[in-house]
Copies of this chain bind each other. A is one copy, B any other.
Amino acid sequence: MANDKKLVEAITAMEDDFAQWYTDVVKKAELIDYSSVRGCTIFRPAGYAIWENIQKKLDSRFKETGVENVYMPMFIPESLLQKEADHVEGFAPEVAWVTQGGLEPLQEKMAVRPTSETLFCEHYSHVVQSYRDLPKLYNQWCSVVRWEKTTRPFLRTMEFLWQEGHTAHATAEEAEARTEQMLNVYADFCEEVLAIPMIKGRKTDKEKFAGAEATYTIEALMHDGKALQSGTSHNFGDGFAKAFGIQYTDKNNKLQYAHQTSWGMTTRIIGAMIMVHGDNSGLVLPPRIAPTQIMIIPIMQKKEGVLEKAEELRQVLSKNFSVKVDDSDKNPGWKYSEQEMRGIPVRVECGPKDIEAGRCIVVRRDTREKYEVAFDEIETRMQEILDQMHNDMLERARTHRDAHTYEAKNYEEFKDIAENKPGFIKAMWCGDVACENKIKEELSVTSRCMPFAQEQISDTCVCCGKPAKKLVYWGKAY
């Protein structure tokens, strides 16, 4: 059995070095590879298939709310990027610039899109004339580029994949409702599909998107106690509409500015899945997103009837699940290790004795619980086991998060938690950016969000002692 251990031994234990554990899992589960392009990673089949599933499921949730997909150019002329002042100030330092096309220098350099507000706004200024043209509920799936100094697979890369929704509405109320609606779509998707519980809230002005009136966010807690911003939704008010001249005539024939939103989720959510659910044997994929949900591993596969039974099971299960049979010439122990490293939610073990007994063994990846399942019950039992696994993973993540969420009533408590207890810190805030800056500088902790579920845990700001305005979730973030 010496072989069986190789895969496992190759990962660092998460207790020893969480960052190294993460890198090991990402490589060993064959999610990504590095290339000679600085700061960019290659999505290998196992990694890209996860993103394809996320796309498929998120996209259908978008479309249920009336969203339509479009595609905008990947380049933005410098003059267009500069039209909204806050926006360009926020993005200019991290833009990649195309300055040469073919053999000629360009007259105007072009940004490789870091985000596409400016292109959507220009288009809306063409196609929105009357209240009848509103709302516009557009989204695109693409990659964007931000020139980052330090990068980590999925979490921070120079190029990353995402979707960016951009909507235009007749009224401020509709824009606000859409901003909140899409945040809820993200939060529900993360809980119902990825088994990741989210804190929903609003970003402070310091942390909001460049050009937005308000940014809402969902924040998750990783296994190491760090926070990860997992999706954001922005209300732009009419700021971009004024900069780009997006106007419509209302029912009374009066000219009005449109109100806009944008919202995005990126491949970093794959990093969240890894860091919330993974363990020291590798990846643990939530059953509703796993590209392969079930790996059937025949035991003593050279014996008569074993591979045939495996194939029969595959066909039965394929009606409702994504299933593979590992009939390679590796030994079963090695196959188990591989299935575990790759995070395939369940494996089905089935050999001559099982066949004789009319049943197989189903093993859950997360808890390694084993179930004896009769062949004629496999379809319904499999659905139950995967649903139970999803619920348990969500519940464990929630329990872990709650156990690592602390309250601080004064700066001393806050400092003690920030330095010794990785996790979310709930503390009151006066609303002054000076306190946010001080906390960030002294304790390396940032405001994650002002949760929608506000509580009053004390009357004074945890930093300056002045009257408190808001409860804030603080944390160290990826």
Contacts and interface: CB of A to CB of B under 8 A. Distances in A.
Interface string A104-136: 000001101000000100110011000000000
A77 B36 CA distance: 7
A102 B94 contact: yes
Contact of A99 (B37, B49, B99): B99
A458 to B, nearest CB: 42
Contacts of A69: 45, 48-49, 52
Interface in A48-96: 48-49, 51-52, 68-77, 79-80, 92-96
B75 A37 contact: yes
A100 interface: yes
Q: Give the number of times this chain occurs in the complex, counting copies.
A: 2
Interface residues of A, number: 53
A424 to B, nearest CB: 32
A161 interface: yes
Nearest to A161: B71
A33 B126 contact: yes
A100 B145 CA distance: 12
A93 B100 CA distance: 11
B40 A127 contact: no
Q: Which of A41, A43, A98, A103 has the most CB of B within 10 A?
A: A98
Given A43-B71, A99-B100, 13 more contacts: A35-B122, A40-B73, A42-B119, A43-B70, A45-B138, A49-B68, A49-B69, A94-B102, A95-B101, A96-B102, A97-B98, A97-B100, A98-B98
Interface of A: 33, 35-37, 40-45, 48-49, 51-52, 68-77, 79-80, 92-103, 109-110, 112, 119, 122-123, 126-127, 138, 142-143, 145, 147, 159, 161
